[in-house]
Amino acid sequence: MRIPTRLAGLPLAPLIVAGCGTAATTGGSASPPTTAPTHSSAAMTAEQITAAMQHEGFKTGPVTAYTATTDPNHLLGRQGDYTSKTEWGGSDGSHFNSIEVYPDAAGAAKRVQLLGAFEGTFLGDGYDYLNGADILRLSSLMTPGQAQLTDADFRAAASG
């Protein structure tokens, strides 16, 4: 049976849409995602973690705290998806980084696994770091060293 060309990619559409929404999408090969949870900050929101990072001197551009209405991925608040999300640009505003907080570590791990499916594609060009129920997503414009330092700041902030 022959599938019309315009429908050939349709089964992949949900996967592509799930990975879209920010410039920083998946764990690149330069620095694989951290998968061992070190702390679950289910009590902290993405906004609180971002503010704690800023309080400790981490520099961000303007921060956007998404709502279910403004979330470009349309995942915020849906069953099994993140409960809060923040996003900020790099100092030059050309790339985006984010924090997603899930209700539990299993939901966050599932998201990182989904994002990993985009590695090596135009959608999968960043770094993803898993920390319990929290995910730090960073742009590929960061060097591996910058990404690791940001991950350390993220983990310290998330641990309270």
Q: Does any domain span residue 72?
A: yes
Domain range for 36 is 21-158
Q: Does any domain span residue 3?
A: no
Nearest one of 23, 34, 36, 3 to 142, comparing CA atoms: 23
Q: Does any domain span residue 151?
A: yes
Q: Does any domain span residue 15?
A: no
51-103 residue pLDDT tens: 999 999 998 889 999 999 999 889 999 988 999 999 998 666 667 899 999 99
User: Rounded to whole angstroms, how far apart are CA atoms 53 and 31?
Assistant: 21
- Residue pair 27/115 in contact by the 8 Å Cβ criterion: yes
Query: Can you give the pLDDT at residue 127?
Result: 92
In this prediction the pTM is 0.71
Q: Which amino acid is at 70?
A: T
- Domains identified in the chain, total number: 1
Q: Does any domain span residue 65?
A: yes
Q: Does any domain span residue 2?
A: no
Nearest one of 134, 4, 15 to 73, comparing CA atoms: 15
7-21: average pLDDT: 39
